[in-house]
Structure 1
């Protein structure tokens, strides 16, 4: 369903859409760069429901079925990346804070006062911004395969960077799907490989739902421009769990460790063999830590 959040149209999926989960604590899931709400594995969502939670997920701005911002143009990522490396301000059409405001707008539109906020990758950065902007509305924070954004942290490996900056070798649907399969295979979890047929099915479904690479580029610029967040994380007071793959080639584990160090009282867990994706084996390992955290155990 489409809601108006922070003045724009945001596509939302709510397990309480039929009113059957009223009164349950809410888990708000925030997806990563260029990814749609359907990237949350059904087994992950179902496990949270089985644990007694109402689950809300949504398409971030500029992606999926949420409002696109093509009128803002496409940033020159090579130039902005150079500026980021040398410490110059990065220009972005909008910021991570804007996406955090969208997230809070989703809660407003659904009449939700507080939620357990869970974000992966860029979604973890948005979740951190939500916890900073509206601490009273965050029952707990979980940052998965994400980063503080601090300068000096390691970045993607060479093969990953080349795969991210490459383009589909053609214009048709098949070329687009093949391109993203190559990317996901490069960043995937070595201990939990997803069969190509299953991966192809997921990519094809996402591509047919929405294919909007310009939105991904604007989101990427927003992440690069969010230079001050690391220095602000010490203000977060929400119960925080940081989960990260030990084999993540896109956002190395040092980024998750740095996030945890900056948030007082947070707990950190590295997961063996996990890369930068959510295959079934990784989902199981994440839930082992996440569900007790959401329930307030081990606080």
Structure 2
């Protein structure tokens, strides 16, 4: 694991797998999740089949730069958004998805990579879309996984999934690990794995427990608005992957993304939720490899 400056304000923690001479694939993780959520074995599967894989911690997560000087009161933020007081909500959040997209592009620049295939999951899919929209010349292909377009009528979470998402994580290590099982609410019905969720939570807690960043990332995601009009004009080759068991970002989010982006391919997986079960890695890896060929 290395840390590199990508701008005067932001340093990102990252890891690479494979041969730098191979086509680069940048993996962008989602809301509140560290780079380890892209499992090392998954990354190695891609690398062993001819891709130079880069995974990294977004700002305000893991070992990357934190914005602790801008605390966000989640209750006040949600109240402002719910009341339609967008100026108040905007004032609470110090950055947007465009800034997070600039981080990813800055990482590529710092690594000497001019163009890369970009794969984003969940909020990472939104960041990846924003990267492709802001600098299409630097994105060879886009893969948007279990994500959406920023339009409020698509990709809505179920009430149960939203309740889990907004429930604060316990500060105690054992309680935090046990609470990870709540995420089964949006996992694959067939392959949902409580043990794997607990193991990831334990690894994440020990590596960098930082719940304070969640509010700022959530604010960036909510306040960045709809990308619908811009996506209609996107000319980057795009693959959209979505699990039909997903209750955190409803599959309508994936369908809408593929509908808007000209020529996009849509892969709907019946046994995937808002997760990437190990049993589906061969399918996902094959899809990414085909798309990035």
SS at match of 1:124: helix
TM-score, normalization by structure 1: 0.91
CA distance in structure 1 between the aligned counterparts of 2:36 and 2:115, rounded to whole angstroms = 23
1:53-92 superposed matches below 5 A: 53-75=51-73, 76-83=76-83, 86=84, 88=86, 90-91=89-90, 92=93
CA contact (8 A) 1:64 1:212 kept: yes
1:1-299 superposed matches below 5 A: 1-7=2-8, 8-15=10-17, 21-75=19-73, 76-83=76-83, 86=84, 88=86, 90-91=89-90, 92-168=93-169, 171-182=171-182, 184-194=183-193, 196-295=194-293
Cα RMSD (Å) of the superposition?
A: 1.6
Alpha-carbon displacement from aligned partner over 1:191-220 (angstroms, at most 9, x marks no partner): 2121x3333222101111011111111100
Q: How many residues align?
A: 286
SS at match of 2:69: helix
CA contact (8 A) 1:69 1:215 kept: yes
Q: What displacement does 1:47 show?
A: 1.4
Q: What displacement does 1:284 show?
A: 2.6
Structure 2 segments unaligned to the other structure (5+ residues): none
CA contact (8 A) 2:148 2:155 kept: no
CA distance in structure 2 between the aligned counterparts of 1:152 and 1:284, rounded to whole angstroms = 32
CA contact (8 A) 1:271 1:285 kept: no
Q: What displacement does 1:185 show?
A: 1.4
- Runs (4+) of structure 1 exceeding 4 A deviation are 86-90
CA contact (8 A) 1:181 1:203 kept: no
Q: 1:277 to 1:234 in 2, by over 3 A?
A: same
Q: What displacement does 1:154 show?
A: 4.3
CA contact (8 A) 1:41 1:278 kept: no
Q: What displacement does 1:256 show?
A: 0.5
CA distance in structure 1 between the aligned counterparts of 2:121 and 2:39, rounded to whole angstroms = 12
CA contact (8 A) 2:5 2:11 kept: yes
Q: 1:231 to 1:118 in 2, by over 3 A?
A: same
CA contact (8 A) 2:120 2:126 kept: yes
CA distance in structure 2 between the aligned counterparts of 1:248 and 1:268, rounded to whole angstroms = 15
TM-score, normalization by structure 2: 0.93
CA contact (8 A) 2:155 2:254 kept: no
Structure 1 segments unaligned to the other structure (5+ residues): none
